[in-house]
Amino acid sequence: MPLEIEDQELLEGFLTETTELLEKLDDDLVTLEKSSGDPDLLNRIFRSIHTVKGASSFLGFELLVKVTHKTEDVLNRLRKGELTVTPEIMDVILEAVDLVKVLVNDIKSGDILEREIDGTIEKLIPLLSTSVVETPPAGPASPEGSTDANKPVNAKGKKKKSEKVEPVPSVTEVDVSDVAVSAESQLVPPQLATQSPVKETIPPAVPAKQPAKAIESKGGEDLSDNTTVRVDVKRLDDLMNQVGELVLERNRMIQLNSNYQGEISLDSFPEDFSKLTKRLNFVTSELQMQVLKMRMIPVEKVFKKFPRIVRNLARDLGKEVDLQLMGEETELDRSVVDEIGDPLIHLIRNAMDHGLETPEERLASGKPRCGNLLLAAAHEGNQIIISIKDDGKGLDPEKIGRKALEKGLITEEQLAGMMTREILDLIFLPGFSTKEKASDLSGRGVGMDVVRTNIKKLNGIIDIKSELGKGSEFILKLPLTLAIIQSLLVEVEGEIYSIPLSAVLETLRVEQKEFHSIGGKEMLKLREIVLPLVRLERVFSVKRKGEGDGSCYVVVVGVGEKRVGLIVTRLLGQQEVAIKSLGKYLANLTGIAGSTILGDGSVALIVDPVSLVEGNEAGSPGR
Amino acid sequence: MGNALTIHRDQSNKEDVSGELIQLVSFKLDEEEYGVDVLKVREIIRMPSITRVPNTPHYVEGVINLRGKVIPIMSIRRRFGLSEVENDKSTRIMVMDVDGELMGFIVDSVSEVIRIAQHEIQPPPPVATSGIDQECMSGVINQPERLLILLDLEKMSSKEDRKMLSNLSI
């Protein structure tokens, strides 16, 4: 059914608001589960759902109204204290929220489909109907029991969960577990089995049913819309100010030029001109900062999806995980934010699946049963650092090496020559997996490859720190923005190239005769390490302009732990450059990441250090 | 009678359609004259300084800065295997829209914009002149005083080239 809404503006407003509310909702719900009974939080959640319901009923989205209405009812009961938050109830509520997202997405795409919503609604209904039979004094036992009655299979797991619930005097913990057991065995309304004062019991109006069809979990995940930007009015005003300044400087420039043409005040021209240049420089760099700031969004946008993901994964895997987020307010360019979501999900999955142990294993190795997962973001110079740290079992280099051998990803000799760090890097190879069998969670050997490819695409690097038995940490270093980078301009036999400064470790001036040759490759002894060298002129087949004076410059670039020295003729200096794409036709050239325009209007190519470092490794520097 | 009249009118209609005028930009390579559809040409510029791009096919001359946009430049001479000449005052770059992206082509000189009728375009002769790829040639225009070869430059940077490029970059 195509969407027919006359007031497009109204609809857009609804979509924006709803999307924002729903994004927040996931996070709030998971927090609620942890700190059950926080009335403020509960009220906020309730209000969000209520707002969505109100707006959708106004616009006539019936399916949406039905789902939100029932969800609201359940939340209302939680709010009134008639129900207590349990993982089971939360599962149902989250499922309902997912359904709402799917429905909102339908509206967004402009085509309302007939979605199957009864399954989810039927799950919500029992949570409502028990209210009829339940008396508030029965307290925590009732919701526990009632959900158990609906899902008898889960009943055994209850004991632990019910410990969290504040006991009401009349019901002890033992009673609660009794309820669970009796509910399991008899499948009668639990209130009958408890000693709690029950006046009247009416069987649930609607019998609980298994959902007809689960809603595809992926569908509701991403509602974020990146085609429009919300910018702080203050920032916009600042920008306007800066533009005003710029216009002023332009006028001065025109004035100066006409003075010069008319040969008026020629004496002061050099001084005026240099002043103008300085001011113009100042204004434009301010302007650049402002615009850059507008593109910045807090990394929270990505992070807030994770509590939900971690919660679900933990339940699927039977692990207990405490996720901590740090530095959510760290801002980075939206283009980067858009790209890091996927790699982070893979890394989190990886940490939860491979890193963290089950509660039993953890207890056995003397750790607290609940695993810790820390997701942190921070600025460091011109980079943003995102780290995913777990206190699980860490990476076992021996096992990784063995697996890589088994899968035929490396040879015996290669493995023998590898340092621990290099072995850890093997997990990023496509096809690598320590799992014997692929599950729906992991084991196909693509995840980490995706991580590395995406991070590389962002000009970022990824580092692994791991201590066997103590945990592992994945550190992503990403540029703040993709549009402008700091770069080192170098000259290679008359041609100018730009090397991203983030990859440059140091520069040296050396005599050619200091080079050594190992197996036909040039090397340089740099302090205690042997540095492989790459002649840029050879890689880029630049025509030589005759022999130099025997000395040249070496730019040491590093990608991860790998180091390579690039031989160039001259260093020209550091410059901030705007990255320009070379277009489709010249995409994917070896060693070239893009291009930029220099002060004189000519084009300089940007060197891709990653492909040079790896090209060197593959044993083919240059062609 | 009536029937005959209708038929006649039909024919004249057809005549009109095929007689639709199209505009071509004509340019020269060696002594031969070529033409491309004017609607594909974005602008014609003098030779700026070209930055060579390594590891590309020989006919990719490099890239230039076209008012803040970096666009690739190709030498038609090299692409067609013609002998190379020094660039001179009349050398021009024709910036064309190829599959939604801008691309520059170096030609010896650009002559004029001409109008011709659709029906004047004849299919290309089976044997191409001077090594020009048959597939780039979309027709010939035979006028009393000149012979114009109609080129389809989109074909010049077509699939195979792109494939070749992506192979190169492995």
* Domains A8-193 and A298-479 belong to one CATH topology: no
Distance from CA of B43 to the nearest CA of A (A): 18
Mean pLDDT along residues A84-111: 80
Chain B CA closest to residue A581? B70
Looking at domain A484-617, what is its CATH homologous superfamily? CheA-289, Domain 4 (2.40.50.180)
Which is the CATH superfamily of the domain at B20-168? Answer: CheA-289, Domain 4 (2.40.50.180)
Residue of A584, A590, A602 lying closest to B51 (CB–CB): A602
Domain ranges of chain B: 20-168
Residue A609, pLDDT > 70, answer yes
pLDDT at residue A459, rounded to an integer: 72
**Quick check: A590 and B169 CB within 8 A?**
yes
Tell me the pLDDT tens digit for each residue of B143-162: 878 888 888 777 766 555 55
Q: Which residue has the higher pLDDT, B6 or A17?
A: A17
What is the residue extent of each domain of chain A?
8-193, 233-294, 298-479, 484-617
Any idea what DSSP says for residue A37?
T
More confident residue, A250 or B4: A250
The rounded distance, in Å, linking the Cα atoms of A74 and A85 is 10
Instruction: Indicate yes or no: CB of B71 within 8 angstroms of CB of A539.
Output: no
Among the partner-chain residues A583, A591, A597, the one whose CB lies closest to the CB of B68 is: A597
For the beta sheet containing B32-37, the strands, ordered from the edge strand earlier in sequence to the opposite edge, are B109-117, B21-29, B32-37, B146-151, B137-143, B121-122
B51–A586 C-beta distance less than 8 A: no
Predicted pLDDT at A139: 38
Order of all β-strands in the sheet with A321-326: A321-326, A371-380, A383-390, A471-479, A461-467
User: Chain-centre distance of CA A79, in angstroms?
Assistant: 32
Dihedral pair phi/psi, residue A598, rounded to 5°: -85, 175
Q: Could B157 and A585 be called an inter-chain contact, meaning their C-beta atoms sit closer than 8 Å?
A: yes
- Asked if B75 is an interface residue toward chain A (Cβ–Cβ < 8 A), one would say no
pLDDT at position A180, please? 41
DSSP secondary structure of A73-84: HHHHHHHHTSS-
Question: How large a percentage of chain A has pLDDT more than 70?
Answer: 76
Average pLDDT for residues A313-320, to the nearest whole number? 84
Contacts of B62 in chain A (CB under 8 A): 603
Choose among A581, A588, A604: nearest Cβ to B169: A588
Which DSSP category does A355 fall into?
Answer: I
- Residues of chain A with Cβ-Cβ distance to B64 below 8 Å are 603
Instruction: Tell me the residue ranges of DSSP E strands in A370-449.
Output: 371-380, 383-390
Q: Choose among A583, A603, A623: nearest Cβ to B55.
A: A623
**What is the SS3 assignment for A488?**
strand
What is residue B95's predicted lDDT score, i.e. its pLDDT?
92
Inter-chain residue contact B169 with A540, CB threshold 8 Å: no
- Report the residue of A540, A541, A586 to disrupt the B interface, i.e. the one with the largest count of B CBs within 10 Å: A586
Residue A50 falls in the annotated catalytic set? yes
pLDDT reported for residue A42: 81
- CB contact (8 A) between residue B54 and residue A592: yes
Biggest CA–CA distance in chain A, Å, is: 105
Residues 29-68 of B with CB under 8 A from A: 49, 51-56, 60, 62-65, 68
Compute CA A19 distance to the chain's CA centroid, rounded to the nearest angstrom. 18
Contact (CB<8Å) B65/A601: yes
pLDDT at A221 over 60: no
Q: What pLDDT does A370 receive?
A: 85
Residue B169 Cα, gap to closest chain A Cα (Å): 5
Domain A8-193 sits in CATH at: 1.20.120.160
Asked whether residue A415 carries a pLDDT value surpassing 50, the answer given is: yes
Q: Is A309's pLDDT higher than 80?
A: yes
Structure tokens belonging to residue A352: 């939860």
How much is the pLDDT for B157?
Answer: 63
Are the C-beta atoms of A489 and A569 separated by less than 8 Å? no
Mean pLDDT value of segment A27-41: 76
- Asked if the C-beta of A495 comes within 8 angstroms of chain B's C-beta atoms, the answer is yes
Count other C-beta atoms under 10 Å from residue A84's C-beta. 20
Buried b (16+ CB within 10 A) or exposed e, A156-191: eebeeebeebeeeeebeeebbbbbbbbbbeeeebbb
- Asked if A603 lies within 8 A of B55 by C-beta distance, the reply is no
Which residues of B are less than 8 Å from A585 in CB distance?
72, 98, 101, 103, 157, 162, 165
With CB atoms and an 8 Å threshold, state whether A602 touches B65: yes
Radius of gyration (C-alpha) of chain A in whole angstroms: 31
Q: Which of A470-484, B58-72, B123-137 has the lowest mean pLDDT?
A: B123-137
**A574 contacts: CB under 8 Å, gap ≥ 6:** A486, A487, A488, A489, A501
Is A493 near chain B, with CB under 8 Å? no
pLDDT, averaged across chain A: 74
The highest-level CATH class for domain A298-479 is: alpha beta
Is the Cβ of A580 closer than 8 Å to some Cβ of chain B? yes
Q: Hey, is the C-beta of B168 within 8 angstroms of any chain A C-beta?
A: yes
CA distance B109 to B30: 9
The answer to whether residue A588 neighbours chain B at the CB level (below 8 Å) is yes
Whether A247 has a pLDDT exceeding 90, the answer reads yes
Which has more confidence, A213 or A360? Answer: A360
Judged against a pLDDT cut of 60, whether residue A173 lies above it is answered with no
Q: Do A586 and B69 touch (CB under 8 A)?
A: no
Is the pLDDT at A344 greater than 80, yes or no? yes
The pLDDT value recorded for residue A143 is 40
pLDDT band at A490 (very low <50, low <70, confident <90, very high): very high
Count how many pairs of residues, chain A against chain B, have C-beta atoms within 8 Å: 78
Residue in A with minimal Cα distance to B61: A586
- Report whether pLDDT(B21) > 70: yes
Quote the CA–CA distance of A391 and A92 in Å, as a whole number: 30
CB pair distance less than 8 Å for A592 and B55: yes
Contact at CB, A586 and B56, closer than 8 angstroms? yes
Kindly give the residue spans of alpha helices, DSSP state H, lying in A4-60: 8-34, 39-59
Cβ distance B157 to B98 under 8 Å?
Answer: yes
- Could B72 and A589 be called an inter-chain contact, meaning their C-beta atoms sit closer than 8 Å? no
Are A461 and A560 in contact, with CB atoms under 8 Å apart? Answer: yes
Q: Is any Cβ of chain B less than 8 angstroms from the Cβ of A595?
A: yes
User: Distance from B58 to chain A by nearest Cα, in Å?
Assistant: 12
C-alpha dihedral, A26 to A27 to A28 to A30, nearest 10°: 90
Which of B54, B157, B168 is closest, CB to CB, to A540? Answer: B54
Q: Which residue of A has its CA nearest to B165?
A: A586
Q: Least CA distance to B51: which residue of chain A?
A: A603
- The reply to whether residue B64 touches residue A604, judged by beta carbons under 8 angstroms, is no
Nearest C-alpha of chain B: how many angstroms from A412? Answer: 26
- Which token pair is A371? 């695993």
Among B79, B169, B170, the residue to mutate for chain A (most A Cβ within 10 A) = B169
| Per-residue CA distances from A23 to A15, A16, A26, A62, B104 (Å) | 12, 11, 6, 21, 47
Cβ pair A532, A564 in contact under 8 A: yes
Predicted confidence band of residue A65 (pLDDT cuts 50, 70, 90): confident
pLDDT tens digits for range B55-89? 888 888 899 988 878 899 988 888 877 887 888 88
Active-site position among A82, A331, A350, A473: A350
Q: What is the mean pLDDT of residues B124-143?
A: 69
**CB neighbour class for A421 (10 Å; exposed up to 12, middle 13-18, buried from 19):** middle
| Model pLDDT for residues A105-133, shown as the tens digit of each residue | 888 777 666 677 777 777 777 777 654 43
pLDDT in tens, A176-197: 444 444 444 444 444 444 444 4
Chain A residue with minimum CA distance to B49: A602
Closest-CA distance of chain B to residue A13, Å: 34
Q: Residue B70 and residue A603: Cβ atoms within 8 Å?
A: yes
Flag whether pLDDT at A211 surpasses 50. no
